[in-house]
Each structure stands twice: as structure tokens, then as C-alpha cells.
Structure 1
Amino acid sequence: MRVALAQIITGREPDRNLDLVREYAGQAKAGGADLVVFPEATMRAFGNSLLDIAEPLDGPWAAQVRGIAAELGIVIVAGMFTPGTTAAGDRNDRKVRNTLLVAGPGVDTSYDKIHLYDAFGFAESDTVDAGTEPVTFDVGGVTFGLATCYDVRFPDLFTENAERGAAVNIVCASWGAGPGKVEQWQLLSRARAADSTTFVLACGQGNPASVGLETKGSAPTGVGHSAVVSPFGDVLQELDGAPGMLFADLDPAVVDDARAKLPVLANRHKF
């Protein structure tokens, strides 16, 4: 299966960000990809209000993503924001959910980010409700697991996805910049692949500084370095900080080989 990672830099306007989805999804299809991954916050970049653009999964922004996927015949994974909910299950107008939408031929699902980024001076939980359940989906006989940004620091989500059948874990991110942060992103992506003996598709927002954009405050707006990592933790391909796209051909037999040689899932103990 051929996959593509679209390392984009989104802005404030959801419609303009949709234009990026359309452009890069078209490039992915032209390159032979069956699935294209976009980063967290594809709908709107962090550092902007999220409450005023959050919409349900059957709202107009998600509908347009589905339309692009249907028109091109490709599966799209993209970060958006959906309304938060109260304990009673009603809409919470003070919070959103950090959601990954997955749409395309034979696929329509979503994942709400479980681990919220309350770190390095940023408090995602002030405005975002946490998800509670792992999510996997199938494309072309291959099972994919989903994760978002800060989730990459928590190995159990990746091993849980693997135990649910995932041969590939997708991590969509808008990684925060700072000393050592690129190295942490690289290290954690490799570690989670080795922990779960899955391919990891680590797709992040590009670094705004790479195109001359200034960022203010502590909002995590991206560092780039999207990568494809093997089930042994080897980096197969990696971008730098600038916007771009990479392609990878994933062979599930590589996962089978890794799990035969390094059966960490079979050997691990749950405490």
C-alpha cells in the first residue's frame, strides 16, 4: 500500500486550509497513494480561537473533506475541531474536541485526542475535552491506529492499537517548538514504532519559520520533520521543517517479520 504524508502549514481560515487539503490530496493521488495523512489542526492552526469554528462531524467542513476524498478516490486523515460535550452528553460551548477525521472509499470514522497537551506552558485542557477510546480502521486489508501529537508520549495507546490489529500507527501533530523538541519528536516516533512493532506515520505541521512566518505565545504551531518509521524503529523517510510531501510503500509482511523476530506484544506483561 502506498501512503502519503502532507506536511502543511495551516492558518486561521478553515476555507483556505481546505484548499491545502485539496491541493495536497490531489498530489497524493497523482503519486499513487491510497491514503494521505494531514496534521493535527488542519482545520485551523493553534494560536487562534477554536470555539467559533468547531463543528460536528456531519458539518460543512468535514463534508467538504469527504467530498475531496470521494472525488479523488483516496482516504484522507485530517485534524479538525468538534464541539465538546458535558457530562450529560449535551454540547459544551466552552470546549472543543481535538478530532481526527478519516474519510474516503469505504471509511468514515474519527478519533478524539485522549492525552491533552498540558505541558511546556500550554494548557490544552483549558479549551479541549479529552477523548476516551482508541480507534482503528481498515484500508485495503491493512489496519491503522490513530493518535494525536502529545499521545506519542504514551506507549500504551500504540500497543493497544496494535493489539486491536493495527499494522500502522498514524500520529498527526502540531508539535511545539523549543530546545530539543525536534529531537524528542524524532525519538518518540521511533520508540512508539518499536514498542508496538508497527509502522509509524508521523505527520506534523511544518515549521512556520521555514516560510518566514512569525509565531507568538506558547501555542504549538509545528516543527515539521514528518517521517515514516519501520516496525524496528528505523526512519525510512523524513522531511525537514518546510512544507512538503513524502510517499512510502508499506508492506504488512514487514510487520509480520518484525513480530516474529521481536515479539514484544506477545511477551509483554500487563500490570
Structure 2
Amino acid sequence: MAVFKAAVVQMRSGMDPERNATDMEALVREAAGQGATYVQTPEMTGAMVREKEDRARLFVAEEDDVTVATARRLAKELGIFLHIGSTAIRRDDGKSANRALLISPRGETIATYDKIHMFDVDLDHGESWRESAAYEPGTRAVTANVDGATLGLAICYDLRFPQLFRTEALAGAEVLTVPAAFTRQTGEAHWHVLLRARAIENGAFVIAAAQGGQHEDGRETFGHSLIVDPWGRILAEVDHDRPGVAVAEIDPAQSAAARRKIPNLKNAREFTLAAAVTGGGHLERTGS
């Protein structure tokens, strides 16, 4: 498997898809200029939109989406794999998907992934989110090939569900991807540790481009886009919440080496859960 350079593009997307596409293009060009042949943008690259009326006005079908069109043109011109971390796509049934797209150096979409886990939470200080009110969740995990390496696709809140990444690692993924728009509150608490944990427990690189700063729609995101190696070491970071680029070398052989040292993927065993019940008995459940 070939060694390649990967880049994370950190953005501060607003509510104007055309302007966001222009900002994305400048940052992708910067990343390619640093030698990256795989470039990842954050979740909601196309637009960060909170209000229902604005979503109805701005979200369009994939073939009409300016972010997708710009990405296809750029990937072909620059000869890179361009991973749109996600953009909001209007589906054929009228519902919306929070969708990642991986585009080849020929400008063709080679994989798509719809975010599975919806961010439906009530945080401290009155901050509340109901992603399921805006998007239809996906139902399938996705892997794809980039320069001989297998990538596992995920988006933002998926990071808190390790079974998704374990499934992708067991399917051969040496690189796990987590483009995100983590809130500042949750990012400060958990972003670095969760990304490093997913890398360590799966013996895989983790590449996570992020949104950062104060957005037009009122939300604030954490930034700090990261590339982590299979031993949990941070290889590159945009260490603030402003737009920027970070680049690191990805050697898929390091994933195999980490898995030889800590062979937990091989050593996993089926088991049952014995939950004690009144009277001294046990309720048996299966697990893995």
C-alpha cells in the first residue's frame, strides 16, 4: 500500500452555499499545494443552517448542489481524492440527508455515506439540538479505497458510537474518517480524547476535519481539525478555531504494525452478560 499525504480543511461555513464553496476551493487548493492527494473538508461544508425555513430554501438535490459540483471540478483539476465531509442533500423522497461524498481524481463520486447517528441532545446552559428533525438517518456503514488504503466513513456524532468504527476496522479500514461540526462545549471536553481513542482501539489512522468558530446561524463550533496515527499520536492539528489546513503523511503499513502489537481485533470474543436478579438467579444476554 502506498504512502500518501492527507489534509484536513477547517472551515467556518455560513449560510451562503456559493460563498462557502469559494472558501472551500481556496483551502483545498492550499492543501493540494502542500502535496496532499487526499483532502477532507468538515461536516456541513455546504452550509451551516439551523432554521427550518432556511433549510427548505437552501437544500437541493445532489446534482444541483454547488458544493458537490465545485468538489468534482477541483478533484479532477488537482488530481486528488476530495472527501466532502458532509453537505445537506435533498433526497428523491423530499427528505434531507447529512451526506458525505468521496470524489476521485477523475471527478467522479466513488462513495457516499449518510450520517447514521443523529445529534439529539440537551446540553448545559440551555443549548439544545434535534438533528433528527432536519435529517433522515442513514442505515449503512461505508468503506472505500483511496490510493490502496481502505477508508471508513463517519460523520461527527458517529464518533461516540465505537461499534461503527470497529465494524469498519474489521472490514479492513486502516484509516477512519470523522469530519465534524462539534459544538465548542462538547469539543473542549471530548474531541481530542475520543478521536485518539478510536485510533488506538482500532489500530487505525483517524482523519477529522472540523468546523470552527462562531457561525452565521448562531452556533459555535470547536475547530481543532486533527490527524491521528494508529498509536494515538497527533500527527497534525489546526490548533485553533479559524479556517486553516493541516497535512500529514499516511502510511497504511503503520496500521498493520499497530494491530500486530495490540491484536485486539483478533482477540475479541463472543460473550454473554449475566445480570443478577432478585432471588439469586441470573438473566442471560448475549454480546460481543
| TM-score, scaled to structure 2 | 0.84
Mapping of residues 1-271 of structure 1, within 5 Å: 1-48=4-51, 49-61=54-66, 62-78=68-84, 79-84=86-91, 91-92=93-94, 95-105=95-105, 108=109, 109-119=111-121, 120=123, 121-178=128-185, 181-208=187-214, 216=218, 219=219, 221-239=220-238, 240-270=240-270, 271=287
User: What is the total number of aligned residue pairs between the two structures?
Assistant: 256
Question: Which range moves more in the overlay, 237-246 or 128-137?
Answer: 237-246
Could you list the per-position Cα deviations for residues 163-205 of structure 1 after superposition, in whole angstroms to 9, with x for gaps in the alignment?
Answer: 2211101101011122x63230111111111121110011110
SS in 1 for 2:57: coil
- The structure with the largest alpha-carbon Rg is 2
**Distance across 1 between alignment mates of 2:58 and 2:102:** 19
**Distance across 1 between alignment mates of 2:120 and 2:65:** 30
Once the two structures are TM-superposed, the CA of residue 130 in structure 1 deviates from its matched residue by 0.2
1:113 and 1:147 in contact (8 A); partners too: yes
SS in 2 for 1:58: helix
For structure 1, list consecutive stretches of 5 or more residues without a partner in the other structure: 85-89
SS in 2 for 1:172: coil
Once the two structures are TM-superposed, the CA of residue 50 in structure 1 deviates from its matched residue by 2.4
1:44 and 1:50 in contact (8 A); partners too: no
Once the two structures are TM-superposed, the CA of residue 214 in structure 1 deviates from its matched residue by 7.2
**Distance across 1 between alignment mates of 2:49 and 2:195:** 22
SS in 1 for 2:44: coil
1:75 is matched by which residue type in structure 2? F
**Distance across 2 between alignment mates of 1:134 and 1:248:** 25
SS in 2 for 1:52: helix
SS in 2 for 1:207: strand
**Distance across 1 between alignment mates of 2:143 and 2:62:** 17
For structure 2, list consecutive stretches of 5 or more residues without a partner in the other structure: 271-286
SS in 2 for 1:165: coil
**Distance across 1 between alignment mates of 2:74 and 2:88:** 18
1:7 and 1:204 in contact (8 A); partners too: yes
**Distance across 1 between alignment mates of 2:75 and 2:57:** 25
RMSD value over aligned CA atoms?
1.7
Once the two structures are TM-superposed, the CA of residue 215 in structure 1 deviates from its matched residue by 6.2
The percent of aligned pairs where both chains have the same amino acid is 35
Could you list the per-position Cα deviations for residues 212-271 of structure 1 after superposition, in whole angstroms to 9, with x for gaps in the alignment?
Answer: x6763xx4x421111111112222222222221100001111111100001111112352
**Distance across 1 between alignment mates of 2:229 and 2:89:** 32
Kindly tell me: are residues 18 and 64 of structure 1, through their superposed partners in 2, closer, same or farther at Cα, counting changes over 3 Å? Answer: same
SS in 2 for 1:184: helix
In the other structure, the counterpart of 1:87 is: none
1:155 and 1:195 in contact (8 A); partners too: no
1:164 is matched by which residue type in structure 2? A
1:193 and 1:199 in contact (8 A); partners too: yes
